[in-house]
Amino acid sequence: MTLDKERALFEVGIKLGALYHQYVGMPINPDMLDELERVIEKSVSLQPYVKNVKVSIDREMVQKGLNEFGYCELEGKMLDVRVEVQYKSAKVVGRIKYDEARDYPMMFVEE
């Protein structure tokens, strides 16, 4: 593995971990999801070497999780995130995606 590829892998891991721990637990409701997705994308896009970010929040899970006050907390399993990092000659794509079989939001290198 080249040093460029190692650096790109490190960078995508940092971006995914930071995103997850920054936003999971925040109060959300269905009316704010489009805006929240764009805010997360813009925030992560500011970081070094990020070329593209796509965030999707599972609306069905949010709807099912609403409490009597009309909101719930963002959970990792609600997130589907794709982050593309380019470091010199190396491009890496990392994901956060809910794995139903494991009942866990997995972070992994997609390509």
Task: Output the tens digit of pLDDT for each of the chain's 111 residues.
Answer: 689 999 999 999 999 999 999 999 999 999 999 999 999 999 999 999 999 999 999 999 999 999 999 999 999 999 999 999 999 999 999 999 999 999 999 999 998
Domain 1-74: give its CATH code: 3.30.1300.20
User: What's the predicted TM-score (pTM) here?
Assistant: 0.91
β-strands 72-73, 27-28: how paired?
A: antiparallel
The neighbour count for residue 7, using CB atoms within 10 Å, is 16
d(CA 6, CA 108): 14
Tokens standing for residue 106: 């997995």
Burial of 26 from C-beta contacts in 10 A (0-12 / 13-18 / 19+): exposed
Q: Where are the domains of the chain?
A: 1-74
User: What is the structure's pLDDT at 45?
Assistant: 96
